[in-house]
Chains A and B, each alone.
Chain A
């Protein structure tokens, strides 16, 4: 009982903490400052709603092309990497639901947020192998995931709170579908700046960290194969859930990622093989489609949180410089769905 009370009081107090996911002085970000979870609160749209790449909202498309590994014919950085720098974001959905990305949060008590229409009218599962689109959990782990889903809207214990709601780093693979992010490249490095967490991909072949060091985003070693950034991730702490549907990997997990870029530089396909003999019955593959956002796009409060910089130079720019302000989270400590909760009046 003490446990429950403590947890509830933490949740209520969390509501009083203002949240600043991104402090960009744009309309979108200002909305986020007040209601960071607002995008997820929107009703799941009927499948007939037209979607547009680069348009408003989180959902940008329901199906997507698969980009295959091959030669890179696009521009390169000075040290010879395919130049893929810029603002990127996934195209289909947020982290509400890992295997039915446009299906809304599981067990949502609000009928307006429950997805309507047949499953095949929504984007496919992020699990692309096995074919059933489900994570091949061992029975005990599946039970834990279902338990999380049953309590997500009633988080009576800390373990039912999605750690991202407490500003924990998004981890892998969730960071790839949590807001837009920036990729920048340097000799020997690819740097990912996510809204929650930073990933440094080392390209210099140094050995991984000793195995007992465990990290939210793991330890990443990468190299380029043509149009594909291949990354080996070890040293994970297993604490970052894959979304509000509670799927997870453990500290024994290993992730092999492939970021496969299209030669026009507009898109990439993220493919990751997740292996964890203590949690899964077999390795499985996660696929996430991503597109690049540029100055030609309108800002978007989820995917592209930028505004024109205050340029003072004399040379005319080909396209405006964009500022993306700091990515610092203040704790938003509540399970989604508790936003209406208030401390009882005394």
Chain B
């Protein structure tokens, strides 16, 4: 088509590649792009400190559902709408759904797990330092630590309610690998569940200073035929004097026994 001499010089190629990269960078606008408006720690990383909550109906059912007596309708938060259950696991999910009024671990006040704690309809507070993010969920005041200190999962792990969370930064996105779960938590009120082979990869990124997009990729080869994705938007609580209020739900069954009271005359 053209002689070798009429082609671009190597300097031109470099310039073209560089400007192309810059354009790509501006277009995608996320990884590495510095949003000047979002709060940041002293080390420049996004600062998620604050009290957060979703307005989605995800906790009632991750999947699309009509209204029912114990849930408002919702379009679901799962990419592709439906969870890719293995056949036997789908049967178990149906049993869970039928008995959700008694079996849902949240009704017992148990720790919600990951990712359910994030979209459960109660606030959670993030306390952040350079080396970690500590999530305190109002529900149960349970605490999850996301380590951002160049540590990996333990070599000799147990199974934990909230798994083991190790995070790193990809630009302004916090990427968290969570695994080593027990099988005692559900994903929602509708009986969607997992085994102890659960692994969750979370991506946390600011949309604006008061809004965070939370995405999670969930895999569990004992329950699902392939990994699946969910996403919710988290809003910052900005009400005056807003704070977490302890919600140790599991003590309500027995706490009338305390404290001692004067005998009635």
Interface string of B19-53 (1 = CB under 8 A from A): 00000000000000000000000100000010000
Interface string of A149-176 (1 = CB under 8 A from B): 0000000011101010011110000000
- Once the chains are docked, how many angstroms separate the CA of A311 from the CA of B244? 33
B245 interfacial contact with A, CB 8 Å: yes
**Does A191 contact B258, Cβ atoms closer than 8 Å?**
no
Distance of B27 from chain A, by nearest CB (Å): 33
- Once the chains are docked, how many angstroms separate the CA of A145 from the CA of B262? 12
A207 interfacial contact with B, CB 8 Å: yes
**Does B260 contact A197, Cβ atoms closer than 8 Å?**
no
A111 interfacial contact with B, CB 8 Å: no
Q: Which listed residue, B128, B160, B262, touches A325 by the CB 8 Å rule?
A: B160
**Which residues does chain A contribute within 8 Å of B134, judged by CB atoms?**
184, 191, 193
B173 interfacial contact with A, CB 8 Å: no
**Which residues does chain A contribute within 8 Å of B125, judged by CB atoms?**
200
Distance of A286 from chain B, by nearest CB (Å): 17
**Does A23 contact B151, Cβ atoms closer than 8 Å?**
no
**Which residues does chain A contribute within 8 Å of B164, judged by CB atoms?**
325
**Does B248 contact A169, Cβ atoms closer than 8 Å?**
yes
Q: Which listed residue, A78, A140, A248, touches B258 by the CB 8 Å rule?
A: A248
Stretch of A36-44, A116-124, A210-218, A260-268 with 4 or more beta carbons under 8 angstroms from chain B: A210-218
B127 interfacial contact with A, CB 8 Å: yes
Stretch of B139-147, B191-199, B207-215 with 4 or more beta carbons under 8 angstroms from chain A: B139-147
**Which residues does chain B contribute within 8 Å of A197, judged by CB atoms?**
141, 248
A163 nearest CB neighbor, chain B only: B258
Q: Which of B164-200 contact A (CB under 8 A)?
A: 164
Distance of B237 from chain A, by nearest CB (Å): 13
**Which residues does chain A contribute within 8 Å of B70, judged by CB atoms?**
none
Q: Which listed residue, B129, B136, B243, B250, touches A198 by the CB 8 Å rule?
A: B136
Distance of A219 from chain B, by nearest CB (Å): 8
Tell me which of B49, B144, B255 has the highest count of chain A C-beta atoms within 10 A of its own C-beta.
B255
- Once the chains are docked, how many angstroms separate the CA of A340 from the CA of B38? 58
B152 interfacial contact with A, CB 8 Å: yes
**Does B255 contact A239, Cβ atoms closer than 8 Å?**
yes
**Does B143 contact A327, Cβ atoms closer than 8 Å?**
yes
- Once the chains are docked, how many angstroms separate the CA of A26 from the CA of B9? 63
Distance of A139 from chain B, by nearest CB (Å): 10
Tell me which of A140, A198, A240 has the highest count of chain B C-beta atoms within 10 A of its own C-beta.
A198
Interface string of A18-32 (1 = CB under 8 A from B): 001001110000000
B1 interfacial contact with A, CB 8 Å: no
Q: How many residues of A contact B (CB 8 A)?
A: 58
- Once the chains are docked, how many angstroms separate the CA of A24 from the CA of B155? 12
Interface string of A175-217 (1 = CB under 8 A from B): 0000000001011010101000110101000110100010111
A321 interfacial contact with B, CB 8 Å: yes
Q: Which listed residue, B136, B248, B263, touches A168 by the CB 8 Å rule?
A: B248
**Does B154 contact A238, Cβ atoms closer than 8 Å?**
no
**Which residues does chain B contribute within 8 Å of A240, judged by CB atoms?**
258
**Does A321 contact B149, Cβ atoms closer than 8 Å?**
yes
**Does B243 contact A206, Cβ atoms closer than 8 Å?**
yes
A323 interfacial contact with B, CB 8 Å: yes
**Does B154 contact A206, Cβ atoms closer than 8 Å?**
no
Q: Which of B226-265 contact A (CB under 8 A)?
A: 241, 243-246, 248, 250-251, 254-255, 257-260, 262-263
Binding site for A on B (CB under 8 A): 42, 49, 111, 125, 127-129, 131, 134, 136, 141-145, 147, 149-162, 164, 241, 243-246, 248, 250-251, 254-255, 257-260, 262-263
A-B contact pairs, 7 of them (CB 8 A): A193-B143, A198-B143, A200-B243, A216-B246, A241-B258, A310-B153, A323-B154
Binding site for B on A (CB under 8 A): 20, 23-25, 78, 140-141, 144-145, 147-148, 157-159, 161, 163, 166-169, 184, 186-187, 189, 191, 193, 197-198, 200, 202, 206-207, 209, 213, 215-217, 237-241, 248-251, 307, 309-313, 321, 323, 325-328
